[in-house]
Chains A and B, each alone.
Chain A
Amino acid sequence: MSFPLLTATAVLPAVGAIVTAAVPAARRTAAKWLALLVSLATLALAITVMVRFDPDGDRYQLTESHAWIADFGVRYELGVDGIAVALIALTALLIPFIILAGWHDADPLETGNRRWRPTQGFFALILAVEAMVIISFEATDVFLFYIFFEAMLIPMYFLIGGFGDRAHAGTDENAAAQRSYAAVKFLLYNLVGGLIMLAAVIGLYVVAGNFSLQEIAEARANGSLDMATNTERWLFLGFFFAFAVKAPLWPLHTWLPNAMGEATAPVAVLITAVVDKVGTFAMLRFCLQLFPEASKWATPAILVLALISIIYGALLAVGQRDIKRLVAYASISHFGFIILGIFAMTSQGQSGATLYMVNHGISTAALMLVAGFLISRRGSRLIADYGGVQKVAPVLAGTFLIGGLATLSLPGLAPFVSEFLVLVGTFARYPVIGIIATFGIVLAALYVLVLYQRTMTGPVKPEVASMPDLRVRELVVVAPLVVLLIFLGVYPKPVTDIVDPAVKQTMSDVQKKDPQPEVEAAK
């Protein structure tokens, strides 16, 4: 038996989390370094997965399969396709930056209490989330996936509720109340989604007799497993609802601005760039494969909701006064694009959507982490409290602008490629929806530039006059992200090569063919 690479990729951060949590209170710097090293080692493993993965090979590779709960046909089954590989790489890539960006976010406020260990907890929770997210990307057993899909809520809950912005921590009762409201809201939304999905998971077991994604999908494809139309639709809705909450899709989105606004910037990145991706990923992997007919049935409604998300999220982003909530609404708009791409059911749309997940992760991380650095300097999240930062901290402003330009999908930066693919893929099948979605790019320019103008330009406000520019640690976080944004904007081939075969498979699952160009069709 070969080395269980996938298990190792998920277990390493899990073990790292336990060890980090056990570090004595006085050695918190050691805990930070430990967490960083573990996340880097995980990145190395993820890169190994990427290298070992053969895009032209089988659909699921590096598979592992062990009996687990034999009575219910639950197996410990792992396997990755191109889409999962790309997202595992993204997750493993972002975690070291998140850890580094949050280096001081969980330092204890008073050092008197010898047994108090928030730092250890913070980094252990981040690693725990990483482990669970990675295994969700790897699981090809529906039940296994479900367990970790739900379990990751627990560490996330503590991360959101337990660690706020430095400026507010401990000083403002109101901030603590807001934070716990946000954490509870996050938990409740996702739990409700998860419970409905649990019902659907059980329903699937009743209908199919096992939990194996591959077996069920195969049986569905060759007709040996027949589902009544209504059964399939209900099961689809059960799964989709959970993923739509996580993604989040309008009108199930309201937990995200609260959660991202109250959490520290690195945790906000963890939510939107990593955890939420499980939702969109699961739509591609589970909804489309298990319920192809129902997916096609629901497509019009989902496309409309995605379209509303795009425009609505962007308009609300324009109206925000809080930097982090603005980024949150921008993310809602972007998730609309991702879902649009998935359900447009064209190769370009789905490749674009997958690429979008990766690019959005990087671009939001860049924008949000720089915003976090900015907020930590001034101690306020309100846009109106800033002005003229460009003059005193040009590097900070410059990286913030690049993050913003990536968010508005400037050509030459990575998100443009994915956004254009999504738009083209949608337009090819649904021209009207494609055109309306294009308005999103104008609105994106509006909210990004308004944010930049109000915070970075104009006369220097006295409160920001002594603001230091980015420190070395912060540059180490931002610079690689910026380089990646540019690199993937100019040369996205490494990612598209991995993703493309998987998308082709998905397209054949739902038995959809790309629309032919008019000129070809006429021939």
Chain B
Amino acid sequence: MNPVNYLYLAALLFTIGATGVLIRRNAIVVFMCVELMLNACNLAFVAFSRMHGNLDGQIIAFFTMVVAAAEVVVGLAIIVSLFRSRHSASVDDASLMKL
């Protein structure tokens, strides 16, 4: 199968993720869309790795996963504390850097 198709898929996933980030208000959904974008990138890396025949892309994909995992930990913590203080998970409600 032509590896370029994977790239198209990656672009599609990225676009979906980006649109989600832009149009959704719920912090959890936004967060999941960010994850989607990260994974789209991962897919692209792996596809490129295959196309160019070296392993750099795959190594980077692992890095991304680790970073994404760390991000989940921190991000979720922030969302939870935001929800506690404001009783809402809407990103638009958190427009000020104070309560």
A–B contact with Cβ pairs below 8 Å: the answer is no
